[in-house]
Structure 1
Amino acid sequence: MDESFRDVLQHFVLPRPDSQEIMKVILILLLLVLLLFAVSYLRSYIIKLRERSSLLKSARRRRLSPEEIELVLTAAESNPKTDPKQIFNSVRDFHRLFDPWMHELSAKAENDPQARRKLDGIFALRKKLFGEVAYHFGKLTSTIQLRSGQKLQLQFSYEGQNMSAPSVVLDVDAAAITVANPCLKGEFLRFNKGDLFKVSFFRDNDGYYQFETHALRSSDSSRPHFLFLAHAEKIQRIQSREFYRLNTRIPFKFRRFAWNDDLENRYLPGMEKLEMEMEGVILDISG
Structure 2
Amino acid sequence: MFASVLLAAQQLDYHTLLTYLRPPKPSAATLWWMLAAIIGAVCAFSAFELISRRIRTARIMQKSRDDFSRLALVFQLAPEEVKQLKTLVKLGQIKHPDRLLVSFEFFNSRLEEMGPNASRQLTESDVQELRIIRNKIFFGERMKLPPVRTTRDLKTNQWLHLKRQSDGKVFMAPVVEAAPTGLLAVTPKAQGKYVHFEPGEKFNIYFWRDRDASYHFESQVISQSGGRQLITRFEHVDDIERNQRRQYHRVDTNIPVTVIPVTREELEGSGPKKLKWDQPSLSGHVINLSGAGLALAMRLPLKANDLVYIELPAEDDGCLPVIAKILAVNRRGTTGEFIMNVEFAGMSPDTHEKIFRLIYSKAKQKLPAGV
Q: TM over 0.5, yes or no?
A: no
Q: TM-score range by the shorter chain?
A: 0.3 to 0.5
Structure 1-normalised TM-score?
Answer: 0.35
